[in-house]
Amino acid sequence: MPASTRHHRALAVFVHCLGILAAVPALPTVAPEAAATPAAAARPAAAVATPTETPTPTDSATAPTPAAPAPPPLVSPSVVVPTQGAPSPVTVAVTPAGTPAPGYQVQVRNTGSLPLATTVRQELPAGTSATWITPGGRATRSAASTEVTWQLNLPARSTTTLHTALSAAAPGRPLTAPACAFTSDGNRPYDCATATWSGAAVPAAEVTAAPPWRRPPVLLAALAVVILAGLGGLWWWQRRRRVRSGARQPGATAPAGTAGATVPAAGDRGTVYPRPATPTAVARRRRPPVWLLVGAALVILAGVVLAATLTATRRVAAIDTAKQPTSGAWVGRSATGVVGVPLREQALEFTVYRIACPDRPVAGGQCQATVGVHNVSPQQQTWHGQMQRAYLPDGTWVSTDEAATRLANQGRDVFAQPLAAGSRLVLPLVFTVDGPGRPKQLELRSGVFSAGVRVDVP
pLDDT in tens, 422-435: 999 999 999 998 76
| pLDDT of res. 313 | 67
Q: What is the mean pLDDT of the chain?
A: 74
pTM metric for this prediction: 0.56
Mean pLDDT of 165-179: 84
Q: How confident is the model at residue 279 (pLDDT cuts 50, 70, 90)?
A: low
Is the per-residue pLDDT at 55 higher than 90? Answer: no
Residues 123-152 have pLDDT tens digits of 998 888 899 999 999 998 876 678 999 999
Mean pLDDT of 397-412: 92
Mean pLDDT of 143-167: 90
Mean pLDDT of 244-254: 58
Is the per-residue pLDDT at 344 higher than 80? Answer: yes
Q: How confident is the model at residue 8 (pLDDT cuts 50, 70, 90)?
A: low
| pLDDT of res. 245 | 73
Residues 68-85 have pLDDT tens digits of 555 544 444 444 556 666
Cβ neighbors of 381 (< 8 A, separation 6 or more) are 347, 348, 375, 418, 419, 446, 447
More confident residue, 116 or 72: 116
More confident residue, 241 or 123: 123
Mean pLDDT of 61-73: 47
